[in-house]
Structure 1
């Protein structure tokens, strides 16, 4: 019996690598043979998962969400450079974890791209989860040589606060990305502007009140108009495209640069060679912080379960909101939840989370061994 342990992170508590380690520790203590593959879906933790899967870490120094220096890492392998918003200029880089919905910038992820280009990659993969800004990707573009001016010719800082003032855009010194494939791996389908746009849907999560949301949406519309008049006639079409509103509009900026947007879950399963790891597995144990009815609608765990079929899949969650009658339809033989083993809030206690994951790994291991013995005994009956 070989078990593939392939979880996502438990957000705010443990990384995917740490979750995989704890579950593996519990499983191996019962005599189960395991193989680990920490996963990601394009959100925060994507770089860590790639490094755990064999990518080479490449340290960079960039601007955090408010411009302060931020030490970050990109992951590189076989001509692919994986860059993450969360560890460059995401929410975790905000000073004192305060929200700055109008002033946060995506400059850092653009700086990471510029530094990655020194390695001569043929492919850039952008993981956009965990963003702090709603700047339409102007920060990213400015790091790559775009310059934004107001009607008086004054150069503007790239952030949400200045979007409404953009009048002219100069890309004459922009970094040449010709021949580089750019992939946005994520599952956000919102457009850039409007009632389903990035400011309206995600702005409040970044601290924007109703007036700030309206201000940002107006600014994003102005950005699209300015681009349309400055050599990017396709800007309006791209702004209405599914996924252009991802990461406060970084998706839109990436599309302007020629990117394609693809399912984060599917892409990362391929990038991390999930099928190769699955080939000799008898069982998959996966997991994430919360499992609910949305899990079955294109989220990483359900995509994994469909990919793994007919190999059975057991899911482990910090919190399980998925009714038992939906386990099989979501692709899971069984769901274990940490909150079934404690009344404490494990989301803020990584050590307790780790101990309970070890215990759940042991429970799964004993269950697998018992089931295997029962099947063997049934075969021996005359």
Structure 2
């Protein structure tokens, strides 16, 4: 029996590569052969997924969410470079226990893009999950040749806090950005502002209380008006587009640069040649930290099950909230959950998580024979 092992990360516990390795070992313990494909959908881990697909890892120095320099990586392919918010200036780059909804910025993403441009790629992929900021992407834009000034003409240091102070925008974009395809890969299709916008839907996850959420949403709307006044006539239309609210408005900034949005799940499955591997497998074993009703609606695992057919799919999750009667409709032959195998909370115990993944995978494969 040949198993395609293609899981997402268990957030806060194991990377997708770690999850895949432990599941694959369990499958081999049951005398199966395996192909291992760690997955991502545009969130954290996207660069590592591209590297697993054959891209080259390149170390880069960038600004974290609060501006301190740190080392991270981009993924460089023959004509495509993948950069991500999460490993440059995302939530994971904040100090432990700190949230900074006003002071964090996306400058680090811009630094990564500048490094990517040294390779003169045909295509730049921006993976936008895991962001810490709601700065409408002005941090990224500032690193790419945009200058934001207040009414006195003083240059502003980019962050969400200064959005409402912007009065003038000077543009001297990198020449390398001309004639390049910019792809925004993710699973967020919210507009920039309003009830379903970046601040109101995702601001609380980044530490914004109701007053800050209201301030951010108003500042984002004001920024759009300032852009229009400064000659960006298409800004108001772009702000209404699905995906412009991704990563606190980085989606909006990328669209100002000419970028287009795609399903992160489909993009990375294509990158990994998932369909080819699934067609050669007897079973696909996938997984992620939590499976619930949202899993059925365009999330990575729902895209995976659709594209795996007719190859059966077995899932292993940290927890499973999807009722048994929905398994088939969601495309799963069976779902296993770690919390059904232990009374211990595995979310903060990577070692136990890995051990259980291996045990469950071995059990699942033996049952499938």
Query: In 2, distance between residues paired with 1:131 and 1:56?
Result: 24
Using the alignment, how far apart are the partners of 1:32 and 1:350 within structure 2?
24
Provide runs of 4+ in structure 1 moved above 6 Å: none
Q: Secondary structure at the match of 1:95?
A: coil
Alignment partner of 1:187 is 2:183? no
Contact 2:120 2:176 (C-alpha < 8 Å) held by counterparts: no
Cα distance in 2 for partners of 1:273, 1:225 equals 42
Q: How does 1:228-247 map to 2 (within 5 A)?
A: 228-247=228-247
Matched, 1:28 2:28: yes
Measure, in 1, the Cα distance between the counterparts of 2:15 and 2:175.
34
1:133 alignment partner, SS class: coil
Structure 2 match to 1:288: 288
Give yes or no for the alignment of 1:223 onto 2:189. Answer: no
Shift of 1:172: 2.7
Aligned to 1:379: none
Report the more deviating stretch, 204-213 or 139-148.
204-213
> 1:198 corresponds to which residue?
198
CA contact 1:145–1:175 (8 Å) conserved in 2? no
CA distance in 1, matches of 2:264, 2:30: 34
CA 95–218 in structure 1, closer or farther in 2 if over 3 Å, else same: same
Q: Structure 1 CA distance, aligned partners of 2:198 and 2:175? A: 26
Provide the residue aligned with 1:338 in structure 2.
Answer: 338
Question: Residue 58 of structure 2 contacts residue 75 of structure 2 at CA under 8 Å; is this kept in 1?
Answer: yes
| Structure 2 spans left out of the alignment, 5+ residues | none
Structure 1 segment 13-162 matched on structure 2, within 5 A: 13-162=13-162
Cα distance between partner residues in 2 of 1:350 and 1:177: 41
- 1:339-378 superposed matches below 5 A: 339-369=339-369
State the distance in 1 between where 2:11 and 2:198 align: 22
Q: Equivalent residue of 1:318, what SS?
A: strand
Matched residues, number: 369
Tell me how far apart the structure 2 counterparts of residues 347 and 172 of structure 1 sit (CA, whole Å).
Answer: 46
Instruction: Quote the Cα distance in structure 2 between the aligned partners of 1:311 and 1:277.
Output: 10
Query: Normalized against structure 1, the TM-score is what?
Result: 0.95
Secondary structure at 1:103 match in 2: coil
Question: RMSD of the alignment, in Å?
Answer: 1.0
State how far apart, in whole Å, the 1-side matches of 2:95 and 2:340 are: 35
Distance, in Å, in 2 between the alignment partners of 1:114 and 1:229 is: 28
Aligned to 1:177: 177
Q: Distance in 2 between matches of 1:75 and 1:225?
A: 35
Structure 1 residue runs of 5 or longer lacking an equivalent are 370-382
The worse-fitting range, judged by mean Cα deviation, of 70-79 and 161-170 is 70-79
Question: Structure 2 matches for 1:241-260, cutoff 5 A?
Answer: 241-260=241-260
In structure 1, what is the Cα distance between the partners aligned to 2:356 and 2:26? 9
For 2:292 and 2:239, the matched residues in 1 are separated by 31
CA positional deviation for 1:224? 0.7
> What is the distance in 1 between the residues matched to 2:26 and 2:172?
57
Which deviations, in whole Å up to 9, do the C-alpha atoms of 1:67-119 show, x marking residues without a partner?
A: 00021111111211000100000001012340111110000001100110001
Q: Which structure would you say has the larger Rg?
A: 1
Report the secondary structure of 1:191's partner residue. Answer: coil
